[in-house]
Structure 1
């Protein structure tokens, strides 16, 4: 199993927009083979930071996730 914890700063005033975008991404990630967990949280110490906790069955599942069109589109915006 592979676990990824990503801390993503959000520009001031953009949290609602970021949360909405993640909601769409999470719905797509949920159907990916090998994705065991994809959880969005807010950093308690810094409310302008989102924390994504991800778990994948193996390296191949993580690589697949990182290569999907929805992942690339989300992080190119």
Structure 2
């Protein structure tokens, strides 16, 4: 199992737009083969910060996720709303 976490910061005033993009796309990821969990959280004390928790069966499932049209569309829509790059970390479940 692979767990991926990502932290992203929206540009000031763009948090709600970013949330709407995520809400419109994230449920599709749970239908992708090998995607076991996909949750996004918005920080309570800073509404511009988002935390993604994703879980995949293996590297192939993660690669499939990154290649889907809905991932590419979501990321393209999110990119102009982001303040800097996402911090992405990968873990192996033990």
TM-score (norm: length of structure 2):
0.75
Greater relative contact order (CA < 8 Å, ≥ 6 in sequence): 2
Separation in 1, partners of 2:39, 2:21: 14
Matched, 1:73 2:73: yes
The equivalent residue for 2:42 is 42
The equivalent residue for 2:13 is 13
2:22 aligned partner: 22
Q: How far apart in 2 are the matches of 1:17 and 1:45? A: 18
Aligned mates of 2:65, 2:26 — CA distance in 1? 11
Q: Which runs of 5 or more structure 1 residues have no equivalent in the other structure?
A: none
Structure 2 unaligned regions, length at least 5: 78-94
Supply the RMSD in Å over aligned alpha carbons.
1.3
Given the two structures, how large is their TM-score scaled by the length of structure 1?
A: 0.90
SS for the counterpart of 1:12 is coil
